[in-house]
Amino acid sequence: MTTRSPHRILGLAGIAGIGLVTLAGCATAAEAEGDGSGGGTDTSASYTDGTYTAEGSYISPAGEESVKVELTLDGDIVTAVTVTPEADDPQAKSFQEKFASGIADVVVGKDIDTLNVSRVAGSSLTSGGFAEALKAIKADALAS
């Protein structure tokens, strides 16, 4: 019978734990960049076709920032989107510009109720402002 020292057993457990953490950190490109799907819970809502505008804010390291979102719906499908950066901080503005340049590729052609944008073009905080604006747009489009 072989006796293993407690240090060796803990070492092996630690290696296994690192492997699990590494795997948990992996995500597909669509998940990491926000594929625009997977977050909606109510796909039965029906929205009025049209173009809607709202602002959303989020907290960045430099403080509160906001973005303006204009979104066009046709049959509950996003047919166009424009995000206008409104940040005062130069770094936040840079991230907002990156987000704005990539958001159409992520959400156009998707049902509005399936949108769940987590990060676009390396910008993850801006998605919080986008989500807030999207919530207002959905409420407005339901009321129309």
Q: What is the pLDDT of residues 75-88, one digit of tens each?
A: 999 999 999 999 99
In a domain, 40, yes or no: yes
Among the listed residues 95, 130, 138, the one whose alpha carbon sits nearest the alpha carbon of residue 113: 138
Range of the domain at 106: 31-143
Coil, strand or helix: which one is 109?
coil
Structure tokens of 144? 């129309």
Q: What is the pLDDT of residues 33-84, one digit of tens each?
A: 444 444 444 456 899 999 999 999 999 999 999 999 999 999 999 999 999 9
In a domain, 15, yes or no: no
What letter would DSSP give residue 62?
Answer: T
Structure tokens of 107? 């959400």
Q: Which residues, in sequence order, are CB contacts of 38 under 8 Å at separation 6+?
A: 114, 116
Number of domains in the chain: 1
60 within 8 A of 129, measured Cβ to Cβ: no
Other beta carbons less than 10 A from residue 137's beta carbon? 23
In a domain, 16, yes or no: no
In a domain, 3, yes or no: no
